[in-house]
Chain A
Amino acid sequence: MSKYLLDKFLYTVDRDPALVERYRADPAGTVEWWEAEMANTILNCTPAERTTWLSFTAEERTALAQHDHVTLFGMGAHPFLTLTLFIAMFERDHGPLEYQKAYGKAMEHLSLPYPDIAT
Chain B
Amino acid sequence: MAEIAAVIASTHHPFYYRASTATGAERPPFADEWVAKIERFRETLTRAEPDVLVMVGSDHFHQLWLDNMPQFLVGKAPFFDANWHNEEREFGLPRMTLRGEEDLAAHILRDGLDRDFDLAFSNELRIDHSITCPIITLRPQADLPIVPIYTNIFAPPLPQPRRFVALGRAIREMVESWESDKRVAIIGTGHLSLELGGPRQFGEHGPDPEFDRKAVDWIATGDIDGCLAEVSLDSLHAPGNATHGFMDFMLMMGVAGEGQKADHVDSLDLFHTMEAYFTWYPKGAPV
* Chain A residues within 8 Å of B, Cβ to Cβ: 4, 7-8, 11, 14-15, 17, 42-44, 69, 73, 78-84, 87-88, 91, 97, 100-101, 103-105, 107-110, 112-114, 116-119
CA distance A11 to B242 in the complex (A): 18
Contact of B61 among A81, A105, A107 (CB under 8 A): A81
Contact of A114 among B201, B241, B271 (CB under 8 A): B241
**What are the residues of chain A within 8 A of B156 when measuring CB–CB?**
116-119
Given A11-B61, A80-B242, A84-B90, A104–B200 Cβ distance below 8 Å?
Answer: yes
Given A42-B67, A43-B65, A104-B202, A83–B196 Cβ distance below 8 Å?
Answer: yes
Contact of B67 among A43, A91, A109 (CB under 8 A): A43
Closest to A10 in B: B61
Contact of B66 among A4, A15, A82, A109 (CB under 8 A): A4
Interchain nearest-CB distance for B205 vs A (Å): 14
CA distance A53 to B242 in the complex (A): 31
CA distance A44 to B93 in the complex (A): 26
Given A4-B66, A14-B86, A73–B154 Cβ distance below 8 Å?
Answer: no
Contact across chains for A100 and B237 when beta carbons are under 8 A apart: no
Contact of A101 among B86, B202, B238 (CB under 8 A): B202
Closest to B69 in A: A119
6 new A-B contacts at CB < 8 Å, known A112-B237, A116-B156: A11-B61, A15-B85, A88-B90, A104-B195, A114-B241, A119-B156
Contact across chains for A82 and B86 when beta carbons are under 8 A apart: no
**What are the residues of chain B within 8 A of A104 when measuring CB–CB?**
195, 198-203
Closest to A85 in B: B86
Interface residue ranges of B49-64 to A (CB < 8 Å):
60-61
Residue B284, interface by CB 8 Å: no
Contact of A107 among B60, B85, B199 (CB under 8 A): B199
Interchain nearest-CB distance for A58 vs B (Å): 23
**What are the residues of chain B within 8 A of A110 when measuring CB–CB?**
198-199
Closest to B60 in A: A80
CA distance A91 to B61 in the complex (A): 21
Contact across chains for A80 and B197 when beta carbons are under 8 A apart: yes
CA distance A117 to B233 in the complex (A): 13
Residue B283, interface by CB 8 Å: no
CA distance A117 to B155 in the complex (A): 8
Contact with A along B237-255 (1 / 0, CB 8 A): 1100110000000000000
The interface centre, meaning the residue of B84, B201, B238 with most chain A CB atoms within 10 A of its CB, is: B201
Closest to A97 in B: B202
**What are the residues of chain A within 8 A of B86 when measuring CB–CB?**
14-15, 84, 88
Interface residue ranges of B201-220 to A (CB < 8 Å):
201-203
CA distance A96 to B285 in the complex (A): 42
Contact across chains for B237 and A113 when beta carbons are under 8 A apart: yes
**What are the residues of chain B within 8 A of A112 when measuring CB–CB?**
237-238
**What are the residues of chain A within 8 A of B203 when measuring CB–CB?**
104
CA distance A62 to B111 in the complex (A): 50
Contact across chains for B198 and A80 when beta carbons are under 8 A apart: no
Interchain nearest-CB distance for A26 vs B (Å): 20
Residue B157, interface by CB 8 Å: yes
**What are the residues of chain A within 8 A of B154 when measuring CB–CB?**
80
Interface residue ranges of B68-102 to A (CB < 8 Å):
68, 84-86, 89-90
Interchain nearest-CB distance for A106 vs B (Å): 8
Contact across chains for B155 and A119 when beta carbons are under 8 A apart: yes
CA distance A11 to B86 in the complex (A): 11
